[in-house]
Amino acid sequence: MRHYLLAPLVSLASLLAPGAAGEDAAPDMLAPIDLSSPEATAYSMMRAMYQGDASMVDQVFADGATLRRVTDAGDLRPDGLQRWRDWVGTLETGAAHEVLFGVETETYGMLASVWAPFTITVNGDLVGCGINQLTMARQADDWRIVFGMDTNAPISSCDTFKEGYLARHDQGAQFSDH
C-alpha cells in the first residue's frame, strides 16, 4: 500500500504558481506558508510536505479538519490527517514533492473550494497522481483547510496524467480515468 499517496493532498519541476492559472512556474518550495488566498493555502500545504515540516501542516489546516481518500472501489478511507501529518514530519527536505496544475477555485464569502489535480514524487520517483478537492474557510485573514479529499488515478497513467487532464479539460470534456 502506498501510504504516501495520502498526500493530496499534497506531490519539482512544474508546480503551478498561485494565481497563474494555466501557466507553469517554479515557485520557491522553501518559502514560508502563505494563507492569504485559497490557492496560496493549497500550495502552502505542498510546501509543508516538501519541507518535511509537520508544524506547517498544523498551520494550514483548521482545528478539527479532516483528510479523506476515495478509493478506486468508491470506499472512503477514514480521516488520515494525523497519519499524513506524522509522515510529513519524517521527510527530509525535498523528499516528497506534489505538483499541482490546472487548479480551479470557487469562493463565496468565507467559503472556498479548490480543485487541484496533482502528480507526486517521493525520493525522485513518480509514485502517484490524481485529484485533490479542498474545502476552506476564511478565519480572520487566513484561509485554512477544513476538509480535504483526494482520489488517485491508475499509477500506469501518471506519466501522461497532467497532459491528458489539461487537454481534456481545455476541450470542456469531463476527465475520467476509471
Residue type, position 63, single letter:
D
Q: How far apart are CA 98 and CA 120, in angstroms?
A: 4
CB 46 within 8 A of CB 11: yes
Q: How far apart are CA 8 and CA 84, in angstroms?
A: 9
**pLDDT score of 3 more than 50:** no
Retrieve residue 10's grid coordinates: 499534497
CB 90 within 8 A of CB 13: no
Beta-bridged to residue 116, according to DSSP, are: 132
pTM (whole model) above 0.85: no
> What is residue 66's three-state secondary structure?
strand
Which pLDDT belongs to residue 17?
Answer: 36
- Rounded to a whole number, what is the largest CA-CA distance in the chain? 43
pLDDT digits (tens, 9 = 90+) for 97-126: 999 999 999 999 999 999 999 999 999 999
Which pLDDT belongs to residue 8?
Answer: 38
CB 9 within 8 A of CB 117: no
Rounded to the nearest 5°, which phi and psi values hold at 9? Answer: -65, 90
Q: How far apart are CA 64 and CA 109, in angstroms?
A: 21
Domains along the chain with CATH numbers = 3-25+32-156 (3.10.450.50)
Question: Computed from CA positions of residues 82, 84, 85, 91, in that sequence, does the dihedral angle turn out positive or negative?
Answer: positive
pLDDT digits (tens, 9 = 90+) for 139-149: 999 999 999 99
pLDDT digits (tens, 9 = 90+) for 31-43: 999 999 999 999 9
